[in-house]
Amino acid sequence: MWRSVSPAMILFLTLAVMDSAAAAPRIGELEIRQGNGGAPCFSISEAEEQRGGAPNFDSITVSEGKAVLWTMTMPKQRTFPVTFRMCIPYAGRLPVLPQMPAAQLQSGKAYDVFVATRKPGAAPQGYRARFCLVRQGLGPTKVRTLGPKGGC
C-alpha cells in the first residue's frame, strides 16, 4: 500500500519548491504618509531603499476591493527613481502621464495601493500597502497604515 519515497525523489521535490520560490518576484513594503492637504502620498520605505536601491517607477494603482479608484502609468520610454525622500501624491496631476481621474477617498474605508517598478535583479517588482483615512470628531482627516488584511 504505502511505498517508500527514495532520497532522490525528496531531493528533487525540495529543489523544485526552492526554485519556484526563488523565481517569484518579491513584493516590497510601501510607506504611506500624510501629504499636502491631508491626502495620502506613497513611497518605498527607507529599509526597502537601503536593501535594494531606488527602483524605477512604472505605475501606481489605488483600489477599494476590486474597484480601481486611481491609476497613473509612465510611458515605456520614461521613468523616474522612487526614493524614500520623495512621495507620490494620491491623484497627483502630471499632465504628461496617462492617468484616470481620481475618485474621492472616504473616511473609514480600507484602500489598497500598489506601485509597480521596472528595476530588474533583486529589487522587488512592486510595493504594496493598505491604508485608510480616519477622522476623529471635527478634526482633520488622518492617514492610517493598515496591516495586509486589516480594516479601518
Give 94's contacts (C-beta < 8 A, 6+ positions apart): 72
Give me the mean pLDDT over the 46-71 stretch.
Answer: 91
Burial of residue 133 (number of CB atoms within 10 Å: 0-12, 13-18, 19+): buried
Which H or E run includes 50? Answer: helix 46-52
**What pLDDT is stored for residue 114 in this prediction?**
95
| Single pTM value for the model | 0.76
Instruction: Indicate if the pLDDT at residue 3 is higher than 80.
Output: no
Q: What radius of gyration, in Å, describes the C-alpha atoms of the chain?
A: 20
Q: What does the alpha-carbon distance between residue 32 and residue 27 come to, in Å, rounded to a whole number?
A: 16
Q: Is there a contact between 109 and 135 (Cβ–Cβ < 8 Å)? A: no
What percent of the chain lies above the pLDDT cut of 90? 36
